[in-house]
Copies of this chain bind each other. A is one copy, B any other.
Amino acid sequence: MQVFLGIDGGGTGCRAALCDAQGRILGRGAAGPANISTDTAGALANILTASNAALDAAGGVDPARVSAVLGLAGANVSRAAAQLSAGLPFARHRIVSDAMTATVGALRGADGIVAAMGTGSVFGLSHKGTFRQFGGRGFVLGDEGSGAVLGRALLAEALRAEDGFAPMTPLLQSVLDGHGGAEGVIAFSLRASPAEFAQFAPKLLQGDDPAAERIMTDAVMVVRAMINRLQTDPPLPVVFLGGLAGAYAARLARCWDIRAPLGSGLDGALLLAQGAG
């Protein structure tokens, strides 16, 4: 009897779930990070740990019976995916992006657009049985509307205000004061990771600071234009995921049919493994 394994792996952890042809969960497992583009060997080790835990929990399932789908951050780096592929023991497997499993999971395989707005950002379009991914180009060149990009915009605006190029506001002044002035903000910017920039994003959602509203308005316009570019006629439902999901859903509620996610990326990987996604 064939069984189906779903893997959802990203920068913080890796989860696995095993199910039968009826979708009944037989076992689960979890392990550490699985970003194959930054640490392929470490990702493979964690994926095997999580998978083996799921197979063991199901009574020691033979990998030769397993049809697996792995939704992984960094799966778009083809060399890393090939290297990972060589180390997997399953009868069949398919490596896809975590954006694809998140989209299929959020829509339960139905047509729609998923905008994942977390530290980074990426857009998934599921339409007539095909999936396409947009954006997700990273902090330096893309990740439009993401927490990291919003945080960077806030710090940049604080420096512009300190120079008199933009109006000073209480929030911008508090950002400057929090770093001991402009010099501290610049020093932070040269060493901070995207996740550290993203820690400033919640400040943009609190209260009614004029600079925060301007930055959020600009970001909402960018995200709206990107989603409109992906829309079809008739329009598809839109699901927002990630820490900024609520903020974008509230500000774009009148643009499209915005829905809550129906499942997780792990659910999406399982659906794809069953051939249903």
Residues on A facing B (Cβ under 8 Å): 76-78, 134-135, 137-138, 140-142, 152, 155-156, 159-160, 163-165, 182-183, 185-187, 189-190, 225-226, 229
Query: Which 4 residue pairs spanning A and B have beta carbons closest together?
Result: A140-B189, A141-B156, A137-B159, A141-B189
Residue of B nearest to A182 (CB): B137
Minimum CB–CB distance for A18 against chain B, Å: 32
Of A141, A155, A187, the most chain B CB neighbours within 10 A belong to A141
Rounded to whole angstroms, the CA-CA distance of A152 and B159 in the bound complex is 20
In the complex formed, the residue of B with least CB distance to A135 is: B163
How many angstroms from the CA of A142 to the CA of B185 in the assembled complex? 11
- Would you call A140 and B77 a contact (CB within 8 A)? no
Which B-chain residue is minimally distant from A79 (CB atoms)? B183
Most central of A142, A155, A183 by chain B CB within 10 Å: A142
Whether A152 contacts B141 by the Cβ 8 Å rule is: yes
Q: 28 A-B residue contacts at CB 8 Å?
A: A76-B183, A77-B183, A77-B187, A78-B183, A134-B163, A134-B164, A135-B163, A135-B165, A137-B156, A137-B159, A137-B186, A137-B189, A138-B189, A138-B190, A140-B152, A140-B189, A140-B190, A141-B155, A141-B156, A141-B159, A141-B185, A141-B186, A141-B189, A142-B156, A142-B159, A142-B186, A164-B229, A165-B226
